[in-house]
Structure 1
Amino acid sequence: MALILRDIAVARGGVPVLEGVSARIETGQALILRGPNGIGKTSLLRAVAGLQPLLEGTVEPDTGQMAYGAHADGIKAQMSVAENLRFWAGLHGTSDIDAALTAFSLDGLAGRLAATLSAGQKRRVGLARLLVTGRPIWLLDEPTVSLDTASTALFGQAVDAHLRRGGTALIATHVGCGIDAPVLDLAPYKAKPRDLAGFGGNGGFA
């Protein structure tokens, strides 16, 4: 499923940070977002995911087709690895967690409480959640933070498999993550200083 961004403008803390961002990511493809710290990569991903309003522009398809992976792993500390994945699978109307456990080498940790996991193990569980959502579009914010080389390779393999199945991925990262994909540098899209009242579009700020 293609992901289409048309003339997107977004803000952070009430201040416009990006404007005029357009991209089309075809089915089976990924796009890497790059740019200096503070440029607005996270704000853009959150807006695309529907977690904050757009100032301008449109996104296709609707957010019901998207799974968002943030900086935080979003796991429940007093539940086991398997229980966490079953919980998320249930929320998305799926049930099979075996593929997710295997993809991120979590089979041996399935019964462990999340609270007892290392930072890298928690990150792997957080990423494994993507596989149980059943959603075709992945929006990922610095997904390889806390991962060692071997786990980063697992992540790259999981994304490759997702793309081969007809999925799409938009990934913000400062570092290589084992994925061969074009890069969109966000620096040229830095918003010019202006009042929010100057923006129109779908964000409801005009």
Structure 2
Amino acid sequence: MTNILPSFLTGFAMSAALIMAIGAQNLFVLRQGLKREHVGPIVLFCGAADALLIAAGVGGVGALLGAMPQLTMALTIGGALFLGWYAIKAFARMMAPEAMAVTAQVSVTLGRALATTAAFTFLNPHVYLDTVLLMGAAGSAQAPALRPVFVAGAASASILWFVGLGYGARILTPVFSRPAAWRVLDGIVGVTMLTLAVTLVGRVAT
């Protein structure tokens, strides 16, 4: 146990530090949590995707991606386009004249919600830089027998974060019973997505 625990905690701490930054995926999970819509499947998808990507990175996929700049470029362009489109949608919701209380939110199907979650997850080049390359490098530095323990620790942090974000969002429901709060949130979402998109376009240009 004394040999296993440090590897588990290292994976947990690294994953927690990387995943808690405000980003497109986190804001989408928060929004769905506030709506209380498909939270369980979305949380499960995010946690499973992170675990899969971390395991792939530790298994050597990170080194393979690092040797394929064309793939990184394609992901960057696709991610920028998707984030720009979602930013426009967020600004449109912010400017809508109708009330935007929790009970007035337009519902989406489970399939569409999961498709959007997948886009935020896999069209984000940062997930490959952070989750696959960085976590993969750190995990590969562990002894071979301890690499699965590192992955388990990292995946545990990811799952706990998404569960807390998705289900903890309902604590804020009284605040978001006011339309103005939704407009502020959509403004933050729009600015964040647009900033990320512009950042990605800048990387392509350079």
TM-score (norm 1): 0.26
TM-score (norm 2): 0.26
Bigger relative contact order, structure 1 or 2 (CA pairs below 8 A, ≥6 apart):
2
Structure with the greater alpha carbon radius of gyration: 2
Structure number having the greater strand percentage: 1
